[in-house]
Amino acid sequence: MRQAQVPHAGHDVTAQASTAGLPRHIAIIMDGNGRWAQQQGLPRIEGHRRGVATVRRITEHCARRGIEQLTLYCLSSENWRRPEAELRFLMHLLEQYVIEERGLLMRERIRLAMIGRREGLPATTLAELDRTVAMCAANDGMRLCLAINYGARGEIADAARRLAEDARAGRIDPATIAEETFAARLDTAGMPDPDLLVRTAGEMRISNFLLWQISYAELWVTDVAWPEFTEADLDEAIAAFAGRDRRFGGLSCS
């Protein structure tokens, strides 16, 4: 674990995580599937397969801990540069996931949502995803948001385009545009901004993920690759979050 993320000496991470205030919304950059597989002498696709099992465990853990929303960075708009065979496998895994996890989603009353561009995604994958979203629509538990074919710069450009079209059509006065007006045009309209952004596999970058929404998110990076990320790792991130002094530009209360 990087020194900056380790709790103060003497802290019991499990106990602290179970009693401290929870982040309302956790966003995770799930990184390291391919590297983990290669380190094990396995094909990269085996890392993605193992990563799906981690998604299942972490989703269930967040739901049971009372997290309001979990957003997972599944496929970035830049990931289309990967080998075609790997991309086909990722689409197969995604389609399989949204079918096989229907039982868990319904049992834990989880609502499913997607952000990102639908263009370029296989029709069969989108159909199964839409079917699962509709099935979970009446659930009243945690929202699980999958960022698929997502890029924050593209999302911001799309929102700006929609605002410009509304202004040109006379539906909005440009002088009245505020941050809230812009946020309402983003893919995440109606969702709370992330309080905690977790990145696995040690990379210290945002990778074009939720650039507008994470303006005040707390960042937590671990060297653990996503296939090996556990519930205890997430609890450690939550405990670190609970110990942070979130001033939002103001002064500390202490």
Q: Residue 80: its pLDDT value, please?
A: 80
CA 7, distance to chain mean position in Å, is 23
**Among the listed residues 145, 125, 127, the one whose alpha carbon sits nearest the alpha carbon of residue 70:** 145
Average pLDDT of the residues of the chain: 90
Beta strands per DSSP E along 84-222 = 111-115, 143-150, 196-199, 218-221
Kindly indicate the confidence band of residue 78, based on its pLDDT and cuts at 50, 70 and 90. Answer: confident
The whole-number average pLDDT for the span 208-234 is 98
CATH of domain 24-151+192-214+233-240: 3.40.1180.10
CA distance 202 to 224: 7
Most distant pair of Cα atoms in the chain: their distance: 61
CA distance 201 to 189: 29
Q: Residue 252: its pLDDT value, please?
A: 61
What's the DSSP call for residue 185? T
pTM of the model: 0.88
Enzyme catalytic residues:
31, 79
Higher pLDDT, 176 or 10: 176
What's the DSSP call for residue 51? H
Number of H helices, E strands in the chain: 9, 6
Which percentage of the chain shows pLDDT scores above 90? 83
Domains in the chain: boundaries: 24-151+192-214+233-240
Kindly indicate the confidence band of residue 14, based on its pLDDT and cuts at 50, 70 and 90. Answer: very low
Kindly indicate the confidence band of residue 254, based on its pLDDT and cuts at 50, 70 and 90. Answer: low
Place of tokens 């993920």: 209
pLDDT digits (tens, 9 = 90+) for 122-163: 999 999 999 999 999 999 999 999 999 999 999 999 999 999
Cβ contact 149:121 at 8 Å: yes
pLDDT digits (tens, 9 = 90+) for 47-63: 999 999 999 999 999 99
Q: Of all residues in the chain, what percent are helix, strand and coil, respectively (each to 5)?
A: 50, 15, 40
CA distances to 5, 12, 13, 87, 234 from 9, in Å: 12, 9, 10, 43, 19
